[in-house]
Each structure stands twice: as C-alpha cells, then as structure tokens.
C-alpha cells in the first residue's frame, strides 16, 4: 500500500537512495487516476519490499509536480538513487506496468553481473558462464545476464546461443543485442564447419575473423571481417558485412571499438 507524500525530498528523493520509489502523481477529481492507483497499490503489495510506492496529490503539491515536469495526470515516475529514471503518463494495464517496473528496477545481482563481465573480458568464459547461470537461476527475468551468458556460449558452444536467448521477448531492452548474438553464433560456429564455406583467397582470413569472434576478441574480429569486406565483399553472401553490423549492434554504437572501426567498415563497404 502506498502513502501520501508530505515531504517529497525526504520520503522520495532520499528514500530512493536505499530502495526504488514508484511515485503516482494524481488528484481526487481525476477519473483515470482513480482507476490507476488501485492497480499500483496491488503491485506494491506484491513487490515484497523490492520497491516502495508513494502518492503525490497534484492539487496539494503543485510545486513538486512542476519541478518534476508533470503536466498531465495520472503520471508515474520511478525514482532510483535520488533521480527519476523513467516514467509514463495515463492508465496502463497491470501487465504493462509490471513490465515497466521490471525493465527499470536495478537487479539485486548487479555486482555478480559485473564480476561475470570482468571474467568475460579476461576470456574466462567457463567461469563467467557459471556465475551467470547462478544469476539466472535466482532471477530468470534478468535479460542482461541472459545476453551475457549467450556471449559466453559463443565461445564455449555456439549451438547453445539460440536456446539461451529464447526467453527474451522482442519488447526486452536487450532484444537488439539478442538478435545480434543470434546472427553472430553462425560465424562463431564456422571454425567447426569450415567446409560449408566456398573456396576463395579470402577464406583463411574470414575464418581467422570468425575464430577471433569466438574467442571474444571483437577488435581482431572486426579487423578481419573488414579486411575481407575490402577484398571481396560478396563472400559468403556478404557475410563480412553482416558480421560487422551485428558486432556493432552487440557492442553499441558508442562502444570504443565501434567508434574505432566504424569508419574503416564504411570505407570498405563503399570502396
């Protein structure tokens, strides 16, 4: 059950340093508010203390609403570590609200996930895989851990990538990364099935890039695929282009490797 806020700074901003706080900006005269608030209260009761629920009467606290850019109600904002990280306006279904909350709540296993990522950077994939599997056993909805586990599978057993990613929906924040991994697992598996590739002077370099991808060395993989792209862009049905695009999507366009190699990729693609 939520409570009506009287001191926003203390009850929301400061409290969200310890636990996420979901804030419902509402007013007694607002019909949609009266429909939404009970849904939020039910979800808060079932949250088992993983987040808190607070209500702000827009009529009684107009300055608070204005400060947080609430121009229409009902408005819901999620506060984490003192800041509003995301929100929505209007009535949503219980399923949509629950999805919104799960997408934005910090995982209780964030430290373990960072540890697994550190192991992956050191190419210690079996250890990282064990750590990530433990996270998913405790928190099956942790899509970030699932994507990381699929990355490990690319090195350990590419055939397991698709199965690992199967629970991730198209609405997940990591759906694009999951799609990139589904594309890349084919390239990672090529070193076990090199006979499926046509003969060409670029074939050894192509396989070298695939081997680098499988080992988690994305820099070497990009260098190899870009080299093939510059020499024979149509090899393996434009595979070098597809592989580079998927690596960029997996890493994110702001990743240092994406920024470093994207210009060379574009030059090779259009040369």
Which residues are catalytically annotated? 30, 33
CA atoms within 13 A on the CB side of 153: 22
**Residue pair 101/50 in contact by the 8 Å Cβ criterion:** no
Q: CA-CA distance, 170 to 159, in Å (whole number)? A: 21
Question: What residue ranges in 27-141 does DSSP mark as E strands?
Answer: 52-57, 75-80, 83-89
**Residue pair 97/43 in contact by the 8 Å Cβ criterion:** yes
Both tokens of 171, joined, read 């609405």
Its sign, for the CA torsion 249, 252, 256, 258, is positive
Which residues have CB under 8 Å from 107's CB, separation 6+?
113, 135, 139, 142, 144, 145
Q: What is the four-CA torsion angle of 25, 29, 35, 37, rounded to 10 degrees? A: 30
DSSP 1: -
Angstrom CA distances, 262 to 92, 185, 216, 219, 235, stand at 40, 21, 18, 11, 20
């Amino acid at each position: 059950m939520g409570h009506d806020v009287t001191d926003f700074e203390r009850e929301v901003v400061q409290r969200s340093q310890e636990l996420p706080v979901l804030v419902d900006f509402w007013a007694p005269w607002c019909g949609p508010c009266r429909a939404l608030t009970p849904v939020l209260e039910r979800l808060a009761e079932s949250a088992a203390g993983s987040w808190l629920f607070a209500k702000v009467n827009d009529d009684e606290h107009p300055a608070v609403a204005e400060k947080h850019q609430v121009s229409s109600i009902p408005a819901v904002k999620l506060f984490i570590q003192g800041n509003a990280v995301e929100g929505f306006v209007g009535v949503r279904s219980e399923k949509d609200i629950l999805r919104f909350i799960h997408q934005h709540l910090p995982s209780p296993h964030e430290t373990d996930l960072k540890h697994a990522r550190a192991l992956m950077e050191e190419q210690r994939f079996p250890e990282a895989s064990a750590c990530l599997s433990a996270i998913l056993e405790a928190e099956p909805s942790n899509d970030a851990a699932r994507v990381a586990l699929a990355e490990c599978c690319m090195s350990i057993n590419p055939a397991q990538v698709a199965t690992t990613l199967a629970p991730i929906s198209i609405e997940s924040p990591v759906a694009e990364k999951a799609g990139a991994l589904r594309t890349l697992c084919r390239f990672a598996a090529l070193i076990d099935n090199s006979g499926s590739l046509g003969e060409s002077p670029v074939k050894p370099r192509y396989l070298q890039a695939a081997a680098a991808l499988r080992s988690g060395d994305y820099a070497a993989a990009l260098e190899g695929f870009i080299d093939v792209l510059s020499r024979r862009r149509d090899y393996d049905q434009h595979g070098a282009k597809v592989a580079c695009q998927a690596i960029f999507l997996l890493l994110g366009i702001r990743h240092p490797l994406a920024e470093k190699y994207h210009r060379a990729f574009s030059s090779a693609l259009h040369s």
